[in-house]
Chains A and B, each alone.
Chain A
Amino acid sequence: MTVDLTTNAAALALGDDALVLSHRLGEWAGHAPVLEEEVALANIALDLLGQARVLLSMAGDEDELAYLREERAFRNLQLVEQPNGDFAHTIARQLYFSTHQHLLYARLAAGDGPFAGLAAKAVKEVAYHRDHAERWTLRLGDGTEVSRRRMQSAVDALWRFTGELFQPVDGLDVDPAALEATWLESVTDVLRRATLTVPEGRRTGAWRAGAGRQGLHTESFGRMLAEMQHLHRSHPGASW
């Protein structure tokens, strides 16, 4: 029973990460700078939504979990709920998250736990997300004066949400410290190659009570949920 409960909690944490980031990326539809990016971001969002459906179904009813929970019941990282900002902010968020997700899923896929099957499938998809984010970071960082300035401001702004990526999650058989070391090495390398300065500030907020994994979210998350959930809540049980 304990095993099931921790598996549920871990499925919720990973599932909420994927769901929330998927929704944020979906907000770019109709607003991306070029058509190719519109399609790329929508494809990445779709991959994440597919992962979210599998993970949330492990924890319960996917629709109820996605559409009927209140803000404090969501267990996603604060990083993934951050507003899209400009394109550089979206890319910085993608770089931080997809590097983490790729490293995490590769480890889960190599094990024999309850997430091995999904992770083995998803790690191949996430490899493309990571590649996409790294290429854009290089292009924007090592680009024009304006793109470099905006990319730098984006990696700086989101840096304080990256500490939470390595909070231990019950039910996930990975070593967070080792994951963090590999992540730092990879992200530092990409930022340096992009001629950007690696941020030096704190990687967690000052708030000690916890963060997304404890159900504590940032201001914009409530509005995002309202938009994501309102149709389902307005028409309970509707189908077409």
Chain B
Amino acid sequence: MVTATALEAELLDIAGSVPDPELPVLTLRELGVVRAVHVRGADSVEVELTPTYTGCPAMEAMSLDIERALHAHGMREVAVRTVLSPAWSTDDITAEGRRKLREFGIAPPRVTRDPGPVALRLGPTRTLDREAGADTDAAAEAGVGREASLLSDPVRCPHCGSPDTELLSRFSSTACKALRRCLDCREPFDHFKEL
């Protein structure tokens, strides 16, 4: 285990404070995509960046923004390296990041990693998918690798907070989002889908 130097911590902070090009309310640190910063020389630095999706078209813009920020901080040579492993997960989005997404009108992803004992709740889950029939939403979400605990946690409307929302499309304006609609306030909204 290599301990990061104070300079590396400082540079990581700067790289992490760059806003996400597609969701500018979030910083790259809040999104959880800046993995590490390694100082390679007096004014040379390498940054490890991980994509949210393999084909994320924002990677180039992120790299350029990080380079610009670190150049401005006196680094002459900045190399941004893409790392795939371990794979990014929506669990890497910080609590602050989730709050900002909600404020921005995007339902944040639910936590998929097993947080320990799960409290059981009685009553129906209301993430309905009316087109495909009764049991399919739960079955399909389990089918795409979600933990069972996720199913008891409804996607809430970011506008009114209602848990009564329905899926309109699993793919939305970007690969990382699904399109849903609130059954109470009737507003459609993006949901940062769990990955």
A residues within 8 Å of B by Cβ?
A: 36, 39-40, 43-44, 46-51, 53-54, 116-118, 120-125, 127-128, 130-132, 134-135, 138-139
Contacts and interface: CB of A to CB of B under 8 A. Distances in A.
A124 B170 CA distance: 14
Given A51-B55, A124-B145, A125-B53, 11 more contacts: A47-B175, A53-B54, A118-B84, A120-B87, A121-B54, A121-B85, A121-B87, A127-B143, A130-B143, A132-B171, A135-B140
A47 B195 CA distance: 13
Interface residues of B, number: 30
Given A120-B85, A121-B85, A121-B87, A47 B144 contact: no
B144 A39 contact: no
Majority-rule SS of A interface residues: helix
A222 to B, nearest CB: 26
A121 B89 CA distance: 9
Contacts of A54: 54, 84
B131 interface: yes
B55 A40 contact: no
A118 B175 CA distance: 17
B60 to A, nearest CB: 11
Contact of A47 (B55, B87, B88, B173): B55
8 contacts: A40-B171, A47-B175, A121-B54, A121-B84, A127-B143, A131-B140, A132-B170, A139-B131
Contact of B169 (A36, A50, A117, A124): A36
B27 interface: no
Given A47-B53, A48-B55, A128-B144, A120 B171 contact: no
